[in-house]
Chain A
Amino acid sequence: MPNFTINGISVDVPQGTTILEAAKTAGIEIPHYCYHPKLSVAGNCRMCLVEVEKFPKLQIACNTIVTDGMAVKTDSEKVKQAVTGVLEFLLIHHPIDCPICDQAGECGLQIYYMKYGLHKSRYAVEDKVHKKKVQDIGGQIILDAERCILCSRCIRFLQEVTGTGELEFFQRGDHSEISIFPGRPLDNRYTGNLADICPVGALTSKDFRFKCRVWLLRGARSICPGCANGCNVEAHFKEEILYRLKPRQNDEVNKTWMCDPGRLEYKKANEARLLTPVNRENGIPKAAPWEAALSSVAFRLWEMVEKHGPGSVAVIASPQFSNEELFLARKLADEVLRTPHLGFSLRTVGDGFADDFLIKADKNPNTRGAKLLGISEEKFDDIVQNVADGKIRALLVFGNGIADLSDAETGRLLANVPFVVQIATNEGAVSRAAHAILPSASFVERGGTFTNHAGRVQRFWMGFPPRGKARSAIEIITGLANRLGAGWKSGGEAQVFRAIAQSEAPFAGMSYESLGELGQTAGGKG
Chain B
Amino acid sequence: MAIGIKKVARPRRMSMGETLYLLEIVKGLGVTMGHLLRNIVRQENIPTIEYPEVRRVMPPRFRGLHRLMKRPDGSPRCVACFCCSTACPAVCITIVAGESPDPKVEKYPVRFDIDMLRCIFCGLCVEACPCDAIRMDTGWFTPPENTREKLIYTIDMLLEK
Contacts and interface: CB of A to CB of B under 8 A. Distances in A.
A215 B79 contact: no
Given A210-B107, A216-B86, A99 B81 contact: yes
A209 B82 contact: no
Interface stretch (B12-20, B43-51, B60-68, B97-105): B97-105
Contact of A99 (B83, B98, B103): B83
Interface in A115-168: 133-134
The 3 A-B residue pairs with the shortest CB-CB distance in the complex, in nearest-first order: A99-B81, A100-B107, A210-B97
A11 B82 CA distance: 45
A100 B106 contact: yes
Interface string A212-226: 010110000000000
Interface residues of B, number: 14
Given A99-B130, A133-B103, 7 more contacts: A99-B79, A99-B83, A99-B107, A100-B79, A100-B81, A104-B81, A210-B97
A27 to B, nearest CB: 31
Nearest to B97: A210
B80 interface: yes
Contact of B103 (A98, A104, A134): A134
A210 B86 contact: no
Interface in A186-241: 209-211, 213, 215-216
Contacts of B83: 99
A210 B103 contact: no
B131 A210 contact: no
Given A100-B106, A215-B86, A210 B81 contact: no
Contacts of A134: 103, 106
Nearest to A211: B97
A99 B82 CA distance: 8
Interface in B96-155: 97-99, 103, 106-107, 130-131
Chain B interface, >50% SS class: loop
Contact of B99 (A98, A99, A210): A210
Nearest to A210: B97
B110 to A, nearest CB: 9
B82 to A, nearest CB: 4
Contacts of A216: 82, 86
A210 B98 contact: yes
Interface string B72-97: 00000001111100100000000001
Interface in A51-102: 98-100
Contacts of A99: 79, 81, 83, 107, 130-131
Contacts of B81: 98-100, 104, 213
Contacts of B98: 210
A173 B148 CA distance: 59
B106 A133 contact: yes
Contacts of B99: 209-210
Contacts of A100: 79-81, 106-107
Contacts of B103: 133-134
User: Which of B99, B103, B107, B130 gathers most chain A CB within 10 Å?
Assistant: B107
Contacts of A133: 103, 106
A99 to B, nearest CB: 3
A132 B77 CA distance: 22
Contact of B86 (A209, A211, A213): A213
A173 to B, nearest CB: 25
A522 B42 CA distance: 96
19 contacts: A98-B81, A99-B79, A99-B81, A99-B83, A99-B131, A100-B81, A100-B106, A104-B81, A133-B103, A133-B106, A134-B106, A209-B99, A210-B80, A210-B99, A210-B107, A213-B81, A213-B82, A213-B86, A216-B82
Contacts of A211: 97
Interface in A285-302: none
B83 to A, nearest CB: 7
Nearest to A99: B81
Contacts of A210: 80, 97-99, 107
Nearest to A104: B81
Interface centre among A209, A210, A215, A216 (most CB of B within 10 A): A210
A100 B103 CA distance: 12
A140 B82 CA distance: 24
A133 B107 CA distance: 12
Contacts of A213: 81-82, 86
B98 to A, nearest CB: 6
A104 B80 CA distance: 13
Nearest to A97: B106
Nearest to A213: B82
A215 B81 CA distance: 12
A211 B82 CA distance: 11
B160 to A, nearest CB: 23
A86 to B, nearest CB: 26
A333 to B, nearest CB: 46
Contacts of A98: 81, 130
A109 to B, nearest CB: 16
Nearest to B81: A99
Nearest to B130: A99
A376 B99 CA distance: 50
A100 B105 CA distance: 9
B2 to A, nearest CB: 61
